[in-house]
Chain A
Amino acid sequence: MVENIIMKKLLYISTLILTLFLLNACKDEEAIQPIAKLGTVQLTFDNVVGEQDLLLDSTVYTNMFFQEFTVAKFNYFISNIELLTKDSVYVPMLQDSSYFLIKEADPASLIANLNWVNEGEYIGMRFVIGVDSLRSTMPITNRTGVLDVSGYASDMYWVWNSGYIFVKLECHKPVKKGDPTPIVPYVYHIGGYGGMDGTPTINNLKTVSLAFPEPIVVSQSKKSKVHLKADALKVISGYNDIDFEKYPTVMLTTFSTKIAQNYSVMFSVDSIEN
């Protein structure tokens, strides 16, 4: 009688285990699930203009030519995020989940969570400004969320020359309240993923490597934070000072590579939080 119950229990348990096993086998990502424990790293983006905080359509800033401007829009893509271990090994984050579109006007976009990060210490990171060529040419069904060209990314996509705009900075010449003169815009829409096979085009993808002031310690039990700063002033002055009068609009032209060179240095690590 007791044996019978034990047998039944064993059968019950083994069936349960088999069920769980099969359930698990259904998941496609089962094969790549690492055994290590996983934690979350949170990236926050603080957009600034030089030493000042970035406030849209209000604060008046000055470029290297002493030309005044306000900022109307500041958006950028980052992708292909990797964390650097103490042993100087770059660990890629889940590629699918490491595309972020940061828009100054959308506070929710200023926080990016990297999930499924192996526990351990990391001393720096590396990422791409823009959307890599592989993803840029994937079927539209593989470009959802922040990559949806008919949704969140609709103002970050060129429809006449298929490709994402990687960095968009739109400034205005300041006007006094009630001044009826038309807005004078300074517009920088920079993209170009390098083109298709056989037809190379401008490549304004930039890789950024940043060291952390002290290591972040990723663990399952808490969220580590990396506070990043993105300096919009660098877009127009990083390497090449942009004269608003001379270059009021830069989009897909050869000159755009100068701006791309500029934004390659716009990021810095403000602080980390363990």
Chain B
Amino acid sequence: MRINKIILLGVLMSVIASCKKDETSTTPVNNTFTGFVKPASFPTPVYRFDYNPVNQAGFELGRKLFYDGRLSRDGTVSCGSCHQQGSGFAQFDHPVSHGVDDKLGVRNSPVIQNMAWAPFFFWDGGVFDLDLFPFAPIQNPVEMDETIPNVLAKLRADSKYPTLFKNAFGTDSITGTRMVQALSQFMNMLVSSNSRYDKFMAGDASAMNTDEVEGMSIFMQHCNRCHTAPLFTDHSFHNNGITRLTDKGRYQITLNNDDMYKFKTPTLRNVEKSMPYFHDGRTNLLADAVNHYSTNIPAGSTVDTALVGGLPLSSDQKNKLVLFLKTLTDDTFLHDTRFSEQ
């Protein structure tokens, strides 16, 4: 009887213990891994971290996937092919993205940084959740041209991936959901918040010179409305007068005439390094990109009214704007080896 009681007590205790919500014991072993840290000057992220918190194993798995060409049909194109760290995870030298068989995309591949704050992805904002994003380039015939089942089969057949998935998610089951969650963990870690501008704003007056500070005040007056600090984007869609009639931008998503030729405001962080510029990659020079805004932009049904006719900027002001934009370059981020192909 006594033994029975002890057993019962044991069962009782274990039942009580099992009531606790499963608190994942995947605390990173390596103490140097900081996980996702929100910079003090940034707003609250929009990414739903509750459903996919960043852990070291997930981040490292995501990084491996990001640089793995097997995500493409013929093994030649990885995410990292069109999103290179040195350009803020955009693509150097290519006005529009390059896919398998040297096929060309229709738009300039954008930077990947500060994704946790982005409510929309793609120039037209067609994807609203970072987790859903990778499915698009993987399956796009002019990008990676592969199917998700094929990618998963390749990962399952690999000698390392099952263990990496186990470390990140608890079991070695390789699913599409886990794959994109790992990629999100990697991309969410790509936080750029350590530029000279950030240091200046944090109180280091020596981080920017007088011309740059002057450029900043011009920027705040004319540009900040859309390229809103500190993320330097309003996450909204505008027609800035750069149109190609074949690409209707946001309209293709909403089918709303008010959205015709509108594109998402790109962040300007690391803009010095992320040439070419605009959604069609039409220019390689930052000065040319700035200059567009002081040209005589014709009115159009959806052209942003504040831009019609061009912004009243002198060449001195434009020079200072360019100088200011270069203070948004974040060398720590661009050279952070945690984010590089290992």
Which A residues form the contact surface with B (CB < 8 A)? 8, 11-12, 15-16, 18-19, 22-23, 25-26, 137, 139-142, 144, 148-151, 154, 157, 159-162, 195-196, 199-202, 252-254
Contacts and interface: CB of A to CB of B under 8 A. Distances in A.
Interface in B139-186: 139-140, 147-149, 152, 175-177, 179-181
A160 B177 contact: no
Given A150-B179, A154-B148, A19 B255 contact: no
Contacts of B177: 140-141, 144, 148, 150
B280 interface: no
18 contacts: A15-B8, A22-B19, A26-B18, A26-B19, A139-B48, A140-B51, A140-B177, A141-B181, A144-B177, A148-B177, A154-B176, A159-B135, A160-B127, A161-B253, A162-B126, A162-B132, A201-B254, A254-B255
A137 B128 contact: yes
A140 B132 contact: yes
The 9 closest A-B CB pairs, nearest first, are: A150-B176, A139-B51, A159-B136, A161-B126, A159-B135, A140-B131, A150-B148, A15-B8, A26-B19
Among A23, A137, A159, A253, max chain B CB count under 10 A is at: A159
Interface residues of B, number: 40
User: Which residue of A139, A140, A252 has the most chain B CB atoms within 10 A of its CB atom?
Assistant: A140
Contact of A149 (B15, B140, B176): B176
Contact of B256 (A139, A154, A201): A201
B122 interface: yes
Given A15-B12, A26-B15, A139-B52, A149 B135 contact: yes
A23 B126 CA distance: 45
B201 interface: no
Contact of B132 (A16, A22, A149, A200): A149
B11 interface: yes
Contacts of A162: 126-129, 132
A159 B139 CA distance: 8
Given A141-B51, A141-B181, A162-B127, 9 more contacts: A11-B5, A19-B11, A26-B15, A137-B128, A151-B175, A154-B148, A160-B127, A252-B255, A254-B255
Contacts of B24: none
Contacts, number: 98
A148 B131 contact: no
A201 B139 CA distance: 24
B44 interface: no
B132 A201 contact: no
Nearest to A5: B1
A256 to B, nearest CB: 9
A202 to B, nearest CB: 6
Count chain B CB atoms within 10 A of each CB in A141, A142, A150 and give the residue with the most: A150
Nearest to B18: A26
Given A19-B11, A141-B51, A160 B126 contact: yes
Nearest to B131: A140
A148 B126 CA distance: 19
A137 B15 CA distance: 36
Residue from the set A18, A149, A254 with the largest chain B CB neighbour count within 10 Å? A149
Contacts of A160: 122, 126-127, 136, 140
B175 to A, nearest CB: 7
B255 A201 contact: yes
Interface in B82-130: 122, 126-129
B31 interface: no
Interface string B1-40: 1001100110110011011000000000000000000000
Contacts of B147: 154
A141 B5 CA distance: 42
Contacts of A140: 51, 129, 131-132, 177, 180-181
Contacts of A253: 255
Contacts of A196: 128
Contacts of B253: 161, 201
B88 to A, nearest CB: 23
A148 B149 CA distance: 12
Nearest to B125: A199
Nearest to A139: B51
A210 B148 CA distance: 37
A202 B255 contact: yes
